Amino acid sequence: MTQPGTRAESSAVGDSPDLSPRLADIVGSHHVLSRPSELLVYNSDGLPGYRRQPRLAVFPGTREEAIAVVRLLAELQMPFVPRGAGTGLSGGALADDIVVVGLHRLKKIISVDVENRRAVVEPGVVNLKLNRHVAPQGLLYAPDPSSESACTIGGNVAENAGGPHCLKYGVTLNHVLGLTVILPSGQIVELGSKVGENDGYDLRGAFIGSEGCFGLALDITVKLTPKPQAVRTLLADFMSVNEAAQVTSAVIASGIVPAALEFMDGPTIRVVEDSIYAAGYPRDAEAILLVELDGLETGVVADLETVRRICNEGGARNVRVARDEAERMKLWQGRKKAFGAMGRLAPHLIVQDAVIPRTKLPEILERIHQISERYHVVVCNVFHAGDGNLHPNIAYSADDPAESERVHRAMKEIMQACIDAGGSITGEHGVGLDKMGYMESIFDEASLNAMCELRSVFDPERRSNPGKVVPVHSCREWQAIPAARRVDKEAPPLEAEPSRPVA
């Protein structure tokens, strides 16, 4: 039985023993890795439940080197996986016995146009680095994934990354004007427009969120946003998860659109407060809401009082506003480092990313609680409440088969409950390997085949990040490299695969 992305798919790499020297001629020998010990760090991403050992890893340092690498792989008909910082949470940047093309060395901020509020960057530019670079000009790059201190703009494009502030400002798609892309064939194309206006089909929109399956970006033109005049961050704590969920809906129903509206439950609060990321959250609370408002000073002050009133009327025990920037950043550090803090609970973590209608939050959170009790697992909920993007997390030991089985069964039920509530399987983490088993629960055969046909336009041979996003047997006219076509259609959903130990 063979799954896409496994060794049968990648036999072409093994058939070309001269690949390493030829890649070294392009990027230098220090930037080609082939020993298993060197490649160990690339066999997983931020979701440790999946492990795939690449055959080679190559790291171009210039645009010209990246083009030459992709064209060599095209000449040799070799599959490859584009990879940024490896902070993804869906197994999307894993390569099983095929080539990893790492883009983290392409880290130039090529230009910043302050007057027109845009910047051109290489794909390896770290999200937070771009923000620090443009901050003196009173500008910011709005998408802010929790991994912003490490994740790259190229990876943000591949996953259409969001973050807490996407509630008001939108996801990566809303902040990318144009891209220069190299297709797996080696052809270079311009998608969108560097000036933000273009005619014809929105191929920029098709490429953003394609999870590395359509090729890789050589440069990205992003929109910059003026920093708001005023920012206020409010922390409300509750002794009931249901009350916090109801307040979330009430805030949005008031007509106010916060910059961010985040939810953390009791287990998450306590694990954060026990870690080096302690933010001063009340340890005895069963839920907190972190609400950020920004804009003109007068409007922010008025909205702050409205949100404070809604929280108090909704049962908040305490409502406090960050006194200064230092306190505000401390509150946000606790939220953004919550996933890391969960490493204190157990050696492994399963993370999900379902999206549900906001009005269903109380119902789904109660359902998650019932499932966790039935399977005797602890679910830590920390998520973007404002747009209904849930992140249920379960820390566990994959070395314990019985516990691992309970955890995966529980998470599968949680995901199905979100689907049944009218939700979707991912808001920002992508499908990758992790959620392919759910794709047929929300898309019919015709829709999945349409996705495959779109992919064929960009990569008819399926060499760029093969075996990801769409279950292979859903593609009726799948034209992959011969070895990759051998797929057992009765293979279990990948999301049910037991997590492997983290080295």
pLDDT given at position 123: 98
- Return the exposure string of 359-386: e unless at least 16 CB atoms fall within 10 Å of the residue's CB, then b: bbbbebbebbeebbeebebbbbbbbbbb
pLDDT of residue 8: 34
Residue 237: pLDDT over 60: yes
Res 493: pLDDT? 36
pLDDT band at 486 (very low <50, low <70, confident <90, very high): very low
Q: DSSP characters for 122-190?
A: -TT-BHHHHHHHHGGGTEE-----TTTTT-BHHHHHHHT---TTHHHH--GGGGEEEEEEE-TTS-EEE
Question: In this predicted model, what pLDDT tens digit does every residue of 132-151 receive, in sequence order?
Answer: 999 999 999 999 999 999 99
Distance set, CA 47 to CA 344, 356, 428, 502 (Å) = 16, 22, 14, 10
Mean pLDDT of 13-42: 88
Query: Quick check: 111 pLDDT over 70?
Result: yes
**pLDDT tops 90 at residue 484:** no
Q: Where are the domains of the chain?
A: 7-102, 109-226, 230-334
CA quadruple 354, 360, 361, 365: dihedral positive or negative?
negative
Length of the chain, in residues: 503
User: In angstroms, what CA-CA distances link 215 with 76, 130, 223, 317, 432?
Assistant: 16, 23, 22, 51, 15
What's the rounded mean pLDDT across residues 225-229? 97
pLDDT in tens, 243-259: 999 999 999 999 999 99
Q: What is the pLDDT averaged over residues 187-196?
A: 91
Confidence tier at 16 by pLDDT (50, 70, 90): low
Which pLDDT score is estimated for 252?
96
Residue 351, beta-bridge partner list:
393
pLDDT tier, 195 (very low <50, low <70, confident <90, very high otherwise): confident
Fold match, 109-226 / 230-334: no
The pLDDT mean for the chain works out to 90
Is 60 exceeded by the pLDDT of residue 199?
yes
Domain 230-334 class in CATH: alpha beta
Confidence at residue 49, expressed as pLDDT on a 0 to 100 scale: 80
Q: How far is CA 343 from the centre of its chain?
A: 19
Average pLDDT over residues 156-172: 96
**Residue range 25-39: mean pLDDT, rounded:** 96
Look at residue 424 in the predicted model and tell me its pLDDT: 95
> Given this model, what pLDDT does residue 15 score?
47
pLDDT of residue 103: 98
Task: Quote the pLDDT of residue 1.
Answer: 29
Handedness of CA 294, 295, 299, 301 (dihedral sign): positive
* Model pLDDT, residue 14: 45
- pLDDT category of residue 183 using cuts at 50, 70 and 90: very high
pLDDT in tens, 344-370: 999 889 999 999 999 999 999 999 999
How confident is residue 474, by pLDDT bands cut at 50, 70 and 90?
low
What single-letter DSSP state applies at residue 291?
E
Please tell me the predicted confidence (pLDDT) of residue 198: 75
pLDDT at position 4 over 80: no
At which residue do the structure tokens 């609970």 appear?
A: 345
| Pairwise CA distance, residues 386 & 357, whole Å | 10
pTM of the predicted model, to two decimals? 0.89
CATH class of 109-226: alpha beta
Name the CATH architecture for the domain at 7-102.
2-Layer Sandwich (3.30)
CA angle 164, 408, 95 (to 5 degrees): 70
The whole-angstrom separation of Cα 221 and Cα 180 is 9
pLDDT number for residue 3: 36
Q: Is the pLDDT of residue 200 over 70?
A: yes
Write out pLDDT tens, residues 386-445. 999 999 999 999 889 999 999 999 999 999 999 999 999 999 999 999 999 999 999 999
